[in-house]
Structure formats: structure tokens, C-alpha cells
Amino acid sequence: FSGFILDKYYSICFSIPYLLVPAFWGWLFFLSRPSFRPTASLQRVLQSLMLGYFSDTLVYLTQWFAVYGILIIVSQIYSALNHNVTVLVVAAVWETLFTSIFLEAIPEELLKYAIIRHISTLEPLPSRYGTVVYAIYGTLGFIFFSGTLRILRIYWMSGAYEAMVYFTIESVLTSTMQIVTGLWIGLNFVKQKFREPAKSPFPTWRVVIPSIVFHAVFMSFISLMYLLYYWGDLNWKLFVFICILMFLVLLLALFLSYRRVKNLFVDPNFYALLNVDDEPADIDSDEEI
């Protein structure tokens, strides 16, 4: 019976446990402790989640068709030039960078910032930590939508084995990358929103650039791996090597995040509920990611 279920519905079977990974992050930041819940409005938390989900819809569909068109064009050029290796390398580098930067990192990170900024205009932010929670849940919306569609796309184009491998990468590595970038957006927005009047304004580009850079670097590996798989040149050794590189980049980002929050997340003032008159106070350190 279990074999029949996996054979008929394995894409659903992979999608459901995939959702558990980002759900864990949502639980950790908001539901794991009773003291976290008053720091953010449940209505705004769910609104951030839905805004992230639907904002990523148009972005991902654009990515999907754009990448598909790019792959067709590159394949035609590659074939027309008698499978010239130089053309393949140049095309792979160009496609990887273009997709990772302009179709993935920039629009998604700008949308994460737009969501948290929109939430902040609806009502006074309840706490600094709650601001980070809104950013995290906006990011979860991106993960739930695009991650599940990526699994289904691999299922349509390949089969159960490829979907299972991609599920592992997407759920463990890519979703963690998204959480890290969302955390950075939230922390930097706190610096911008609760800046002391005596300090110079914290510009928007400093809020989003760290997340864009990390997102672009990480997704360059994903795009390269998918490109090699699409052309049939992805063997196990190359696959493991790329995964190791992604893991090392992720470890570096987690280390930088830990340095940023190790003192901040134990500061009671970071969780304190705010009045409107309290907003100018700045408790964030000057250390940035």
C-alpha cells in the first residue's frame, strides 16, 4: 500500500514534508515561547505570510518562463555552433548570473523589504522583535510558494528520484538561506525604523544589499546545478561538490547571523512592547551584516 501511495502521489508526499522545514522556522521565531507571542500581532503575522506567498507568484512565474526561454536560446546557439565548449561555458556563466541576480535575488529581497515596510504603515509596530517576526513570516510565504512549485516542476520534467534529491536541497539548504536573508532584512529594518534622531538616516540600500548579495551567490550554485542537469552534464561528484560549496556559504551566513544576534536576542529591551513615543529609541548595535 505504501509503495502504491508513493508511486501515485510522490510529488505530494515530498511537498508536504518540505513544508515542515519552513514551518519549523516559523514556530521557532514566534510560537516556541509564550513570551514571543505578545511581541507581534497574529493578524499581521498571517498578513505577512500571505503577502509573501502572493508576491512571489508573479515573480516566480516570470522566472519560470524567462529561464525556460533562456535555456532554449542557449541550447539552440550551442547546437548551431557544433557544441562549442567555449559557448557553453560563457552561456552557463551568463545565464547563472542573470537568473540569480535579476530574476531571483533582487526582486525577492526588495519584495521582502516592501512587505515589512507596508506592515509598518498599517499600525505602530508592537516591538522590535515583532518587526523581525513579520520579516520572517513574509519570507515563509516565499518559501511555501516557490519551493513547492520547484518540486512539482522537477516532478513534471523528471521523476521521483530527481524530485527527492531536489526536495532535500530545497527544503534544508534553500529554505534556510531564505530565512537568513529574511532575518537580515528584519534586523536592518529595525535599525532603519528605530534610528535615533541624532544619528544619520539608515538608507534603504543598506537594508537590502546584504540579503541580495547572499541570495545571489547562493542561487548561483542552484542555477548552475540546474543548468548542468538540464544539459545532462551533472554527475554525482559534481553534484556533491556544488552542494558542499552551498553548505559552506550557508555556514558563513549563519555565523555572521549569530554574531549579529547573540547579544541582541538576549536583550529584554528588544522584546519590550513599544508605545508610539518609544519608537525613536535605538537599541541596535552598530555592527552590521
Q: Return per-residue pLDDT of the chain as tens, 289 residues.
A: 444 555 555 556 666 666 777 888 899 999 999 989 999 999 999 999 999 988 888 887 887 788 788 878 878 887 887 777 777 778 777 877 888 899 889 999 999 999 999 999 999 999 999 999 999 999 999 888 766 666 666 656 566 666 667 667 767 888 899 999 999 999 999 999 998 888 888 999 999 999 999 999 998 888 777 777 767 777 788 888 888 999 999 999 999 999 999 989 989 999 998 875 555 555 554 555 5
Torsion angle, alpha carbons of 26, 129, 190, 286, to 10: -110
pLDDT at 223: 77
Q: What would the grid cell of residue 135 be?
A: 520579516
CA angle in degrees (0–180, nearest 5) for 99-105-109: 155
Decide if 70 is inside a domain: yes
pTM beyond 0.75: the answer is yes
Q: Is the dihedral of CA 265, 267, 268, 269 positive or negative?
A: negative
pLDDT at 107: 93
Rounded Cα distance, 250 and 244, in Å: 10
Decide if 146 is inside a domain: yes
Helical (H) or strand (E) element with 217: helix 204-230
What three-state secondary structure class fits 149? helix
pLDDT at 193: 92
Structural domain of residue 118, as residue ranges?
A: 2-271
Residue 262 per-residue DSSP state? T
Decide if 117 is inside a domain: yes
Decide if 285 is inside a domain: no
Decide if 77 is inside a domain: yes
Decide if 190 is inside a domain: yes
Amino acid letter, residue 12: I
Decide if 279 is inside a domain: no
Domain count along the chain: 1
What three-state secondary structure class fits 117? helix
CA neighbor of 192 nearest in space, from 167, 209, 168: 209
